[in-house]
Amino acid sequence: MEEKVFYEALYAYNARGDSQLSLLPGDVLEAAKTSRSDESWLRGINHRTGDTGFFPVSYVRQVPRDGLPREESNDSGYCELNPSPGPPQLSSRRRREHRLVDIYLVTPVICKHCHDYLWGEASVGKKCEECHSCFHHACAHFSAQHPCSRQKDSPPITYSKAVPLNQWTCENVLDWMASVNMLAYADVFKAKDVKGSDLASLDREKLASMGIKEEYPQNAILLCIGELCRGANASSLPLQSSCEDERNYASPLLKDEGSVKQSQLHQFECQSFVEAEQCDSCRHLLRGLAHQGLLCHDCGFVCHRSCAVTTVLPACRAQQLQRPQQRATALALAALSRDLTTQFNLAEQSAPSYLLRCIQEIELFAHAHPAVDLYKVYTSTAYPESLQKLTVKLREDPMNADLSGFNIYCHVGALKKYLMELVNPVIPVQFYERFLEAAKQGGEEQCKVRLLHMVHQLPPHYSATLRCIMGHLNRLCRLQHSRGFRERPQGLINAFCFLLLRPAWENIVNIIRNGKLHARIIEILFFHGDWGETLPSFDAPAPALPPRRLSRTTHGVTSPTDQSPKGLQDAEWYWGDISREECQEKMKDTPDGTFLVRDATDRGSGDYTLTLRVGGSNKLIKIYHRMGKYGFSEPLNFSTVPELIQYFRSESLAQYNSFLNVKLLYPVSKYQQADIEDVDADVEKVGMKLMEANRDFLNKTKQFDQFHDQFTRLSNELQLKNQALQSFSEAVRMFEEQHEVLRRFQKEASEHERKSLEENNQVLQNRLTTLKENKAQLEQDVKGRQAYYKTLEREINGLKLEVAEANKQREHCQIWLTSKGVKKDSINKLLQESSGETKETSKVHEEPESLPHHNESTWFVQECDRGDALRLLEGRCNGTFLIRPSKTAGQYALSIVADGTVNHCLIMKTDKGFGFAEPYNIHPTLRSLVLHYAKTSLEEHNNKLKTTMAYPVFAQHNS
């Protein structure tokens, strides 16, 4: 008789076929004992249902017979088999099941099972009608693991039908950004008032115009927006479809040691990644810019939060690092985001070494460069590549690393990045609600006392780190103040209000709406805390007069006591129905306090939009209209819009929003609009400005065309090379199949056949090795070209904006000149005169027919080798060249001076023509090649050759 083994189900499992068993936690299963230890599936019977089938070993644990739950009137040590399927016999273990219904969302909701967010426009998950717990569709299969019990908290806001994306407000968009780890750019989206209807039209060009110019943030934002618009997110990740895909390993977040060996469990931590990272389970990219997913700090396995608990993952293999090259950096940096108590010894230092070195470098740079605005430094961004290099150096040896070559922006970026990626911020999440409650106190004194009291209650490591950071900011303020900057450091406070303080992940969507409280907390701590440093007194000077767009009635600041306009239409600052883009143009390069009012985009509501210049950027503020009253928020106290504007001409908007510590000082008058309408402008000056704008436009257009041609050519090359890669992959697969066939034949062949089979196998193996090597070389080539392709794409997107701006400036000048009576012919003459090249080195472009390049004797030397070429070109200027026969029969060589040295390049002669490399061998003659590169830089073939073939060696002007 077969020996039986009993198992207890630890986790719910939904059968995915007739041959599988469904499980609930606590189910007892009986199976025949097997001698193999690597079985991932066993066949047995479920005592609860009486069904027979296969079940996954990673979802159960083996239990002794006397450890089985006993039923009433049964003291045998195991449960009797039910004669037929029946209801679960769980007695006291039985849990009330969830009543799940499909839901739709606008505000993201946390999933009860995977602790990641449900978000999206389509049906993104399910909600229990009893306890209001929410689950992703994939996580709903595991809902039985979570007891159904009513929650004290108010239920999440859900809908029974989809809410279209174009109905989402800016606040809804910001909540969604928080749930997909994109808080770093939430303030940009808020300042631009980006609504759901705007998301689908966002592209790299528009993100760049918003100030998001780096490739990685652009990619991360567009990836999330793409998933949102397509309705594809983690809520719809499918469970694996067949038992063959399962492995004999437990899910890494299932911590019961009875299911698998402890050595097989992943040691997951929430981690931030510096570049796009792929989930090793579902193969989709992780979302966001910080805390994107989970990283096993033993083997480097990476996955979504949802994948960690809804799929059966491979066990941890610490000695086999997942994708070693890509994961080594992530593992090296993982320690920087862990709990502060693990990062430094409080008896030896006041903060983590990484943080102390950043502060040290920032303050050294600040003292050495008096011209740097230390407040603006903290609102600027560093180049991602430089920031990554600095972070790695600081991680390896923070106190002794050689950090020469990195500027203050990199060090500030490294400090902010460190604080943002901490798993638990400097003011721990456990204290978040208490600090918020204190900030809500009405009285300033009472609020200050409570906040400073709670600072002393922080854990020692956190309190010391906060003191170190605040002391650093105090020293920067003192230094800035000594240089004549007397204004309050509001930029510093805003920069740190989300770095030092944030809620737990389950409540992260509340962070945006709590922004004012964050700013108040940091401001009170900054100005009133005892940080061991003395703060100067901040007495802001009177604001300077605006340099442009003066009011029609005055040439300076309008007095706050002036009477407000009798009607909105008469107000010089009211522009009516103008677009956001027109508004941005009119506000460009204006001082803080400049403003205008326009109609809101939701026409018919009676609302308006105030555009205000603050901190060098435009802030969009909604003016609400309800029941005949106007205002920025409830209660609405103003009878008219002019009354509201007039009030805030003398009162700061800080009472409405602490980020807006400015008055409405400088109206953008609709009666005087353009820059060229200054009082001292005349026809001659504007004519010169037109010529300058035209030259700028033509130069940028030419550069754009060149980049676009290269981009198109490179795109075609990449398409062909990717097709070649697919062919290589198919060939490798075919050879590997043949290798497997030969290996099987070798086992079955007779003695006299084995030798020939071995020879055939060796030949096949050699060819397979060659194929793989060629494929690897092609992959490397494609990788390099893809990097250049992305660089070109960024340059083209940037040039688009510059070309449009230059053209707009040119048109403004023409319109102004026409309005002053200048004839069209005169304007065209100015445009023609400014369209020629002005540089001496551009003669190649001006007079192509008279170029010496047409005469081959000026550059072709028949009897010449490398040594002769060196002697002929020695001491010549950059761009001087000659062409000579190559040592390779039938080929030619170019010798050219670049960067003061003589360089040599092989010119290939093929059936298609002459050129330096495929697919550029398209020139029918050497003369054609020379004329082409007389105006095209050789840099596209060699980064060291930043020159054209400008001067033939025997030309008269180069003698």
Burial of 257 (0-12, 13-18, 19+ CB in 10 A): exposed
Query: The sheet that has 134-136: what strands, in order across it?
Result: 100-103, 125-128, 134-136
User: Band of the pLDDT at 320, cuts 50, 70, 90?
Assistant: low
Q: Which two three-digit tokens encode residue 886?
A: 């190559």
The β-bridge relationship of strands 666-667 and 594-599 is parallel
- Provide the pLDDT confidence category of residue 801 given band limits of 50, 70 and 90: low
Task: Annotate 107-163 with DSSP letters as a single string.
Answer: S-EE-TTT--EE--SS--EEEETTT--EEETTGGGGGGGS-----SSPPP--BSS--
**How many helices (H) and strands (E) would you count in the chain?**
24, 23
pLDDT tens-digit readout, 756-797? 888 888 888 888 888 888 888 888 888 888 878 877 877 787
Residue 691 and residue 833: Cα distance in Å, rounded? 8
Find the angle CA(842)-CA(847)-CA(851) to the nearest 5 degrees.
90
CATH number of 568-673: 3.30.505.10
Predicted confidence (pLDDT) per residue in 614-623, tens digit: 877 888 888 9
Pairing of strands 880-885, 951-952: parallel
Question: 670 Cβ partners below 8 Å, 6+ apart?
Answer: 572, 573, 574, 575
Beta 617-626 vs 892-898: how paired, if at all? unpaired
Q: In Å, how far are 457, 467, 688 from 454, measured between CA atoms?
A: 5, 13, 64
What integer pLDDT is reported at residue 75 of this predicted model? Answer: 38
Classify strands 41-46 and 52-56 as parallel, antiparallel or unpaired.
antiparallel
How many Å apart are CA 363 and CA 392, to the nearest integer?
21
Residue-averaged pLDDT of the chain: 78
Task: Name beta bridge partners: 885.
Answer: 892
Please give the average per-residue pLDDT across 901-930, as a whole number. Answer: 84
Neighbours of 882 (CB within 10 A): 24
Helix (H) or strand (E) holding 417: helix 408-421
pLDDT-derived band at 838 (thresholds 50, 70, 90) equals very low
The average pLDDT across 139-164 equals: 83
Q: What's the CA gap between 199 and 220, in Å, rounded? A: 14
Can you list the pairs that 926-933 forms with residues at least 24 positions away whose Cβ atoms lie under 8 Å?
A: 926/856, 926/860, 926/883, 926/892, 927/853, 927/854, 927/856, 930/853, 930/859, 930/883, 931/848, 931/851, 931/853, 931/854
How many angstroms separate the CA atoms of 892 and 624, rounded?
Answer: 75
**pLDDT at position 686, please?**
83
The pLDDT of residue 108? 93
Using alpha carbons, select from 926, 929, 940 the residue that is nearest to residue 884.
Answer: 926
With beta carbons less than 8 A apart as the criterion, state whether 689 and 815 touch: no
How far, in Å, CA of 229 to CA of 207, rounded? 17
Element (H, E) at 624: strand 617-626
Q: How far is CA 359 from CA 366, 421, 473, 784, in A?
A: 10, 17, 9, 37
Q: What is the pLDDT of residue 860?
A: 92
Phi, psi torsion values for 659, nearest 5 degrees: -75, -15
Span 65-76, average pLDDT = 46
Q: Domain 100-236, what architecture?
A: Orthogonal Bundle (1.10)
Segments of the chain assigned to CATH 3.30.505.10: 568-673, 840-958
Please tell me the CATH superfamily of domain 344-528, with its number: Rho GTPase activation protein (1.10.555.10)
What is the per-residue pLDDT for 890? 81
Contact 16, 241 (CB under 8 A): yes
Question: Per DSSP, what are the bridge partners of residue 896?
Answer: 881, 903
Q: Which residues pair with 907 in a beta bridge?
A: 892
Which one of 3.40.50.720, 3.40.50.2300, 3.40.50.300, 3.30.505.10 gives the CATH number of domain 840-958?
3.30.505.10
Q: How far apart are alpha carbons 10 and 26 in whole angstroms?
A: 6
Class in CATH terms, 4-93: mainly beta
At residue 538, does pLDDT exceed 90? Answer: no
Distance CA 117, CA 134 (A): 10
For the chain, give every residue range classified as CATH 1.10.555.10: 344-528
pLDDT 10s digits, 407-436:
888 899 899 988 988 888 999 988 999 999
CATH architecture of 683-824: Orthogonal Bundle (1.10)
The answer to whether the CB of 479 falls within 8 A of the CB of 371 is no
pLDDT category at 260 given cuts 50, 70, 90 is very low
CA distances from 499 to 391, 515, 918 (A): 17, 12, 51
The span from the CA of 118 to the CA of 140, in Å, is 12
Max mean pLDDT among 2-16, 535-549, 781-795, 855-869 falls in 855-869
Q: What would the two tokens of residue 395 be?
A: 């991680």
Per-residue exposure over 803-830, b if at least 16 CB sit within 10 Å of its own CB, e if not = bebbbebbebbbebbeeeebeeeebeeb
Placement of tokens 């990097």 in the chain? 787
Compute the average pLDDT of residues 352-375. Answer: 89
Average pLDDT over residues 823-836: 77
What percent of the chain is predicted at pLDDT more than 90? 12
Q: What is the mean pLDDT of residues 930-946?
A: 84
Count of C-beta atoms within a 10 Å radius of residue 599: 17
Beta bridge partners of 880: 951
Read off the tokens for 786. 């893809």
The predicted-structure confidence for 722-762, as pLDDT tens digits, reads as follows: 888 888 888 888 888 888 888 777 777 777 777 788 888 88
Q: Two tokens at 873?
A: 């070109």
Is pLDDT at 567 greater than 50 in this prediction?
yes
pTM above 0.75, yes or no: no
Of 130-134, 295-299, 399-403, 607-611, the one with minimum mean pLDDT is 295-299
**Both tokens assigned to 75:** 């003291």
Question: How far apart, in Å, are the Cα atoms of 807 and each of 193, 692, 800, 801, 879?
Answer: 27, 11, 11, 10, 33
SS3 52: strand
What is the greatest pairwise CA distance in the chain?
A: 114
Tokens of 460: 């020692």
Q: Which amino acid is at 865?
A: D
The CATH class given to the 243-337 domain equals alpha beta
CA distance readout (Å), 100 to 119, 126, 303, 863: 17, 6, 27, 88
What would the two tokens of residue 775 be? Answer: 């494929």
Residues of the chain with CATH 1.10.287.1490: 683-824
Tokens of 389: 């290099």
The 8-class DSSP code of residue 430 comes to G
- Give me the pLDDT at residue 161, please: 86
What whole-number distance in Å separates Cα of residue 433 and Cα of residue 504?
10
Q: Taking residues 159-183, report their average pLDDT.
A: 88
Using the 8-state DSSP alphabet, how is residue 666 labeled?
A: E
Dihedral over Cα of 633, 636, 638, 639: its sign: positive
CA dihedral for 502, 503, 506, 512, sign (positive or negative):
negative
**d(Cα 313, Cα 305) in Å, to the nearest integer?**
12
Return the DSSP state at 620.
E
The set of residues, in sequence order, having a beta carbon less than 8 Å from that of 435 and lying 6+ positions away, is 427, 451, 454, 501, 521
Tokens 């299963």 belong to 29
Residues of the chain with CATH 2.30.30.40: 4-93
Give the containing element (helix H, strand E) for 272.
none
Q: Which position has the token pair 């006993």?
A: 70
Cβ pair 281, 303 in contact under 8 A: yes
pLDDT-based confidence at residue 86 (cuts at 50, 70, 90): very low
Residue-wise pLDDT tens digits, 92-143:
444 578 889 999 999 999 998 888 999 988 888 999 988 889 999 888 888 8
Q: CATH 3.30.60.20 spans which residues of the chain?
A: 243-337
- In order of 93, 141, 227, 233, 498, the CA distances from 282 in angstroms are 34, 17, 15, 12, 32
Radius of gyration from C-alpha coordinates of the chain: 35
231 in Cβ contact with 123 (< 8 Å): no
- What the block records as the tokens of 851 is 């170029």
Instruction: Measure the N-to-C terminal CA separation of the chain; round to a whole number of Å.
Output: 105
